[in-house]
Structure formats: C-alpha cells, structure tokens
C-alpha cells in the first residue's frame, strides 16, 4: 500500500539475495522514470541554444569471472 501512495514516476523494486539456497539479504531500490526535458538545469529561453553532452556507450559485457574480478579489484 505504501508503494502506491507516492508519485507515479517512482516505482519500488525489491530483490532477495540467497546463498546456497538460503536467504542472506534483501535489497530495496527505487526506479525513477524521467523525460528528457526533466534532465536539463533550466528551460531554454526562446532562441537560446541548448547545449547537451554526448552520452558514453554502455560498457561491453565482460567474460571476467567473479574470482578474477575479486583478484584484480579487491584489497588483499
């Protein structure tokens, strides 16, 4: 019921996390739906040039295993 009382642009998401078939944690987050016009700092004045930044491409899928990632990126 609480989820339905907020703005329609915000939707809750939940994810249980299990290890060896046993629940160990849960994650809660919010998904926000925005339109492009909501992403600029101010509405441009008539005749004003709108400057935009080019978005970078999403990273490519990796073949690195969890163990390889941990070895390369986590403190020893």
Domain that holds residue 2: 1-38
DSSP 4-20: GGS-TTEEEEEEEEEET
Is residue 17 within 8 A of residue 24, CB to CB? The reply is yes
In a domain, 15, yes or no: yes
pLDDT tens by residue, the chain, 76 residues: 666 777 788 888 899 999 998 999 999 998 888 877 667 666 667 777 766 666 666 566 667 677 777 777 777 7
Is 76 part of a structural domain of the chain? no
Structural domains in the chain (count): 1
Q: What's the rounded Cα separation, in Å, for the pair 72 and 49?
A: 45
Q: Phi first, then psi: what are they for 69, rounded to 5°?
A: -60, -50
Residue 31 lies in a domain: yes
* pTM reported for the whole predicted model: 0.39
What is the pLDDT, as a whole number, of residue 18?
93
- pLDDT reported for residue 15: 92
Q: Is residue 44 part of a domain?
A: no
């Amino acid at each position: 019921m609480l989820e339905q009382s907020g703005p329609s642009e915000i939707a809750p998401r939940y994810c249980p996390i299990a290890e060896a078939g046993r629940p160990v944690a849960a994650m809660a987050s919010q998904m926000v739906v925005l339109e492009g016009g909501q992403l600029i700092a101010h509405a441009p004045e008539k005749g004003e040039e709108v400057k935009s930044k080019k978005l970078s491409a999403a990273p490519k899928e990796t073949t690195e295993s969890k163990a390889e990632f941990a070895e390369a990126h986590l403190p020893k």
